[in-house]
Chains A and B, each alone.
Chain A
């Protein structure tokens, strides 16, 4: 019997060779078993690449499942809260999925690759839940994380870069659409999706062609300010875009021990993703009940006075007298492009209505000593960063 060799320690994505060549700071961490950069130059520089030029982020560690078979649509429709029958082949949908109690297990994107064939992408792993959900369905669920290399190409010049690379016809691609191209004999899938709230694409290709794709991309982007980025820059951009991150703005329901630490989609401001017209989906009964009784929590986007970021701050209804915590901040960032002190938080109902004011208690350190400030914050409706170019079709040649 031969013992098969398996990779030990952290895995490297097929883009590691290219990223490590560009790397100047040697700051990495682990993401689902893979080596992933915190930053390659400095987070701010990389952030400005996203907002002013093109940032390239290695998405390979993103968990990917291939879902196919005669029941695939019915299966996915029972799995997620939104109506997937409306998502035609060639389209991508942002979706959340819940347990029977209507609590969010995770969010992710579902690519309708071809008729009846889907790819589900998420930050976390969900094979057990997907397999449990497959009981009674004629469907195949295959984990294909390592078989698909992914790159996020995000920023105002991303369209120009990709056109330059020879992706003809990309201009027609609408937000949440996907197209297939030939790349050196391999199939390159491009979706107009991303985690930055800006014009941007995600590229998916077989690992064997990954380095060639990287090289072609950077060659094409030379004059368009293309830059590889790490997680820190992406994190700034995603908070500005008002996107949620698992383990930050909500805990995956399967990862909690204490009761009341999970969130429903209604509590995460994702009610637009819950389609009660579907007769059955995981969590439907519980969510209908929640809708009737009212939710416990509400997700808020906060525009905070001052310039001190409100990391993990308590949120109060009043600044003083009868001061009572109503919630806390889950993600916060100083937004360089909006020149705003922004945050995502969670507050108890009925607090946090759009347009209302709340107060955040910000602790900050100056030369070892801690100070605190109460800052007024208004609850806003729209993402902080939401430029028209994000959805313009065809996108402008920046």
Chain B
């Protein structure tokens, strides 16, 4: 049986669903094929222990773009919004950050933090504008490309002379140098460092970690929220919008091949051998998987293959889920603080030291941790009176020396529990079940090459005009009819929907131009 669709989307991750929704809304017959049994890709809620559910990969909403919410008229129910980040300190001496305010620090630091945040917000707004449109191509004479580039230049200039210089100075710089220059509180420095490196294979002293910090702020100024019912509520809502607009979404359908005939895309084939025809195939899978596995290098040219082959996409963030029979004791926290975001990054050096072994293929013996207790405000996730903890733990290199054996996983989980135990001494007694997802597990479960959140490292050489690779930043791949719409494209990962929306607009715009 073959069905004819205007567009087939490979993978029902959040970007694929955003893209599907927008295309369906403009009258396209869209088919979404998702390999897993539920939609959402890495933005899903799933049970990890009897009665305990958690957002399996992404667990906080930072950057769901206002433009995406607006275009699709999304109504996302939030369990928590405007969450405070609490940097856990010894003896209950914590530092709290929300918006531009930092407390638990000296007046000088609080002042400095306000200035720092204001500037970062300004820069993030500037970047955010460009995150919501395809990046212009470099080196063309196309009016649109040139005008967007000119506008980018103008927007940077309009920051004012001093701020422009500051922007250009900071964008390639590392977060470490900036925080040590500005702040004295080790907890503040540690927490900002963590924010800059979360989800990357970068340490605070790595280049362009200010850019990754800004990336997180783009769209909603770094305002953090947790969706009610976990991430699936966002992606279920997206799927609902897409279906309502007429898109067909089928789960449990792993696409194994994007069919290329006579140099152009003709459809897809699933694991079960089903074939679906379409002149447009949009891959929500990462660029490497799409080109090297689904399409095959032989259908694209050498230079492009080579660039895709060398995309850096080795994840370094693990996910730890704990089922708890009650909330742990943490000195200095009130009960309601368990609704907030807790981070373990006692100082800036701690974060870099955690990264050190990862450079050589070993996991951190003293990892940095971002902790949430999503069940605190959301009774759907755990049995009454019980709780779940969802934590992002770094660093857990994808290519661990010796591989992610059970022993290696056990060792990393133990190291993580030890790190948490320092602040929550009774955590071990509370645990009734646990699950650790290393980048290798994330790769397997969510079909992301290297298990990298962003489908490709978020660094300046893989950013904007050159994301995923030079010459392919317009969502269109160098095969007629093939597009990408996932985190590997501009602007990048995180539950933002920007890539999916930009891709849909690029496809519709191209059609209009033709």
Chain A residues engaging chain B, CB cutoff 8 angstroms: 71, 74-75, 78-79, 99-101, 129, 132-133, 135-137, 279-285
Contacts and interface: CB of A to CB of B under 8 A. Distances in A.
Contacts of B302: 78-79, 99-100, 129, 132-133, 135, 282
A280 B478 CA distance: 11
A100 B472 CA distance: 12
Contacts of B130: none
Contacts of A100: 301-304, 471, 478
Contacts of B292: 135-136
Nearest to B471: A100
Contacts of A99: 302-303
Given A132-B306, A279-B262, A137 B301 contact: no
Interface in B121-150: none
A285 to B, nearest CB: 6
Contacts of A136: 292, 296-298, 305
B119 interface: no
B158 interface: no
Interface string B255-280: 00000111110000000000000000
B300 A280 contact: yes
A143 to B, nearest CB: 18
B298 A137 contact: yes
B306 A135 contact: yes
Interface residues of B, number: 20
A122 to B, nearest CB: 16
16 contacts: A71-B298, A74-B298, A78-B302, A79-B302, A100-B301, A100-B303, A100-B478, A132-B303, A132-B306, A135-B297, A135-B305, A136-B298, A279-B264, A280-B298, A281-B301, A284-B263
Contact of B478 (A129, A132, A285): A285
List the 7 closest A-B pairs by CB distance, nearest first: A136-B297, A279-B263, A100-B303, A132-B306, A133-B302, A100-B301, A282-B301
A101 B304 CA distance: 10
B267 to A, nearest CB: 16
A130 B79 CA distance: 55
Nearest to A129: B302
B349 interface: no
B309 interface: yes
B117 interface: no
Given A280-B298, A283-B301, A135 B478 contact: no
Interface in B157-185: none
Contacts of B478: 100, 285
A139 B302 CA distance: 14
B298 A282 contact: no
B299 interface: yes
B303 A282 contact: yes
A138 to B, nearest CB: 10
Q: Which of B298, B300, B471 is most buried by chain A, counting CB atoms within 10 A of its CB?
A: B298
B301 A285 contact: yes
A131 to B, nearest CB: 9
Nearest to B139: A259
Interface string B288-323: 000010001111111111100100000000000000
B478 to A, nearest CB: 6
Contacts of A129: 302
Nearest to A277: B262
